[in-house]
Structure 1
């Protein structure tokens, strides 16, 4: 592997066209040197990449390394064309999938929901070719796993085209569908008639009417530096007050997770959309983006208004806002499993999966099997918990019922 000069030398954003830049070189980084990458270079790559991935935005990654991933052994391959950063593959050795051989797993945590590396759109073929050459020649890890990636996105379409030519192997594990919103030619009315079922549309209109009877409702969009931190705190409290807080999965359930949220979801990357009832948020949706697609990893609502359907109302109002403006090209539900509520409102889907690339076929096949076995085990555990909860529910209700009878 060709090692570039020390990161102590400041890399400036080159004004020279990338097509005239020197041949690519690559740096192998650890967590410390990754954090030292020049901010202008990383930011430029995030906004100029072939496939947008705000989860690998500098602010998102560095917030994780300082909080929830602090002390984690993280590495990266940084590809340079002259002094311009044109590729960034961030990975870790440890994974939820134990393997009997080394694996370069894409950086992962509970809030990183897209494992697509950042690759400059003007240098994509050169970066992918160089990356696969390193893997093939043994100058980079021999086995890679990219979690939660869109199989049809440009990065993985091009990656797959080049894999076989290098004598490498490609496989897919645990495919699922992710809800995805794009704009229909007929506008909002076409969306309502073609995407929402008649019963769903009736439910939405009934919900909007009931909320209107409860008070003044409006949709608020906040992304500026002055107001976003306050709305983020509102979101954290709202999420923690509901079932996620009870289950211990809210941001505020763990200090490191709360610190991550406050550092990662900042102006310039994040935005908050809120359904306000008489000026107070009763449903909120967090989004992040570095390009034309908004990714929405978190939603919360006030459970005191559960019967009024604030979550459904917020989804509907965001569809209206999407068609009323051309600021966004698309919205990605950013959910790592099927069955997300947005499936009822979004008109499209992405074919998601874990992509595994490696030098040895038997290792690729075994890693696919390990991923699939873990997924089956997880589903079995969830089903067992659901059955146990169903069995306990009548017993939990019996004492209160008896007390009411005695009274």
Structure 2
């Protein structure tokens, strides 16, 4: 049975501290914020690896090296940062769209907010509302009950701006500890795991290899890219190794994680050959799983699930509190009886003629058309 979602963030009540907001443009200005950015994230309610400066920098270098980057910075009267909002400006047909620097590889999006998330978000929104030209603001893959999602929409609606959502993901996760995550799965699934482990063992020696970035990181990444490309992703041309941008992004992410002790590449070996690999991250008591790969020719013995079993056991032995699968809900993830976190694309429109027209087309006309087409099929 699928579980329900738990609140991921706790947002304190807004303070009465006044904040001033400055708009910085370009990569040099963004790069200069690194230490201050990460220190703020560590103090606030959105301490996630995907919100850290180095993750966003890696994304920008890989996917938007020539993008027009604008970073809004909220500071208190002493000049201390309270919040950062990175946005890319896009112009088309006379309209301006501001969007979070994100795509399918970003995992999760939040503004970098400190302890006073409500006050910082209010200041950032006020600057956007009054000082920046735009027609539509798009923040994708926001946790539905997260600070950015709840605060920005509420602020926008209070100022009579139009807003709409599209659900993008229902990301599974499992809590750790107690009687153990595996013990909470069905007896049938546990029996299947035991049977498949025996069958894999009959094929040769089975071992687990851990790479945290202190050994042959390039070799471990190359092994992962090769295994992923050997399956259906390689056939469809969607494997990481087929796109230099993806290779650069995931290599950079792995190296940055290794430098701060957060990398967790785990490989299940059969006779010394990797048959399943996790490209994982450990951050603040949570194991995050951006990417996985397994040998599809061994699908009958589920090497991916067997590796996941070992990783769960390791996470619980380390005292981690959660394993976050990231990405969309999938059948293999459901076997672990997860809970789910809904994510949305949040759109905010100016209350102008153009904004109202876009809101109507996107959030009223389009859903009706999709429903009619689905009914006709």
Interval containing the TM-score (normalised by the shorter chain): 0.7 to 0.9
Is residue 89–residue 99 contact of structure 2 (8 Å, CA) maintained in 1?
Answer: yes
The residue number in structure 2 matching 1:108 is 102
3-state SS, counterpart of residue 265 of structure 1: helix
Whether 1:152 and 2:181 are equivalent positions in the alignment is no
Deviation string 1:129-158 (CA, Å, 9 cap, x unpaired) is 102222333446453221111112244334
Counterpart among 240, 244, 264 of residue 255 in structure 1: 244
User: Matched residues in 1 for 2:93 and 2:308: separation?
Assistant: 40
The residue number in structure 2 matching 1:288 is 281
Whether 1:49 and 2:41 are equivalent positions in the alignment is no
Counterpart among 218, 242, 248 of residue 207 in structure 2: 218
Between 1:24-33 and 1:127-136, the stretch displaced more is: 24-33
Deviation string 1:229-251 (CA, Å, 9 cap, x unpaired) is 33122111211222212221112
| Shift of residue 344, structure 1, vs aligned partner | 2.0
Deviation string 1:27-64 (CA, Å, 9 cap, x unpaired) is 32333234432332122234333123322322222223
3-state SS, counterpart of residue 137 of structure 1: helix
Whether 1:341 and 2:332 are equivalent positions in the alignment is yes
| Shift of residue 293, structure 1, vs aligned partner | 2.8
Is residue 146–residue 354 contact of structure 1 (8 Å, CA) maintained in 2?
Answer: yes
User: Matched residues in 1 for 2:164 and 2:267: separation?
Assistant: 40
Q: TM-score, normalised by structure 2?
A: 0.80
Is residue 213–residue 263 contact of structure 2 (8 Å, CA) maintained in 1?
Answer: no
Counterpart among 182, 193, 214 of residue 204 in structure 1: 193
The residue number in structure 2 matching 1:357 is 348
| Shift of residue 102, structure 1, vs aligned partner | 2.3
| Shift of residue 284, structure 1, vs aligned partner | 0.7
Q: TM-score, normalised by structure 1?
A: 0.75
Counterpart among 114, 121, 125 of residue 132 in structure 1: 125
| Shift of residue 172, structure 1, vs aligned partner | 1.8
| Shift of residue 354, structure 1, vs aligned partner | 1.1
Deviation string 1:288-311 (CA, Å, 9 cap, x unpaired) is 354333321210112343332111
CA distance 1:239–1:354, change in 2 (3 Å): same
Gaps of 5+ in 2: 1-13
Gaps of 5+ in 1: 1-18, 385-407
Number of residue pairs aligned between Structure 1 and Structure 2: 353
The residue number in structure 2 matching 1:329 is 321
3-state SS, counterpart of residue 215 of structure 2: coil
The residue number in structure 2 matching 1:11 is none
User: Matched residues in 1 for 2:122 and 2:37: separation?
Assistant: 21
Is residue 119–residue 127 contact of structure 1 (8 Å, CA) maintained in 2?
Answer: yes
The residue number in structure 2 matching 1:68 is 63
Aligned-residue Cα RMSD (Å) equals 3.4
CA distance 1:367–1:79, change in 2 (3 Å): farther
The residue number in structure 2 matching 1:28 is 23
Deviation string 1:171-192 (CA, Å, 9 cap, x unpaired) is 321354211121263x21xx44
| Shift of residue 159, structure 1, vs aligned partner | 3.9
The residue number in structure 2 matching 1:87 is 83
User: Which of the two has higher C-alpha Rg?
Assistant: 1
Is residue 23–residue 71 contact of structure 2 (8 Å, CA) maintained in 1?
Answer: yes
CA distance 1:339–1:133, change in 2 (3 Å): same
The residue number in structure 2 matching 1:16 is none
User: Matched residues in 2 for 1:45 and 1:118: separation?
Assistant: 7
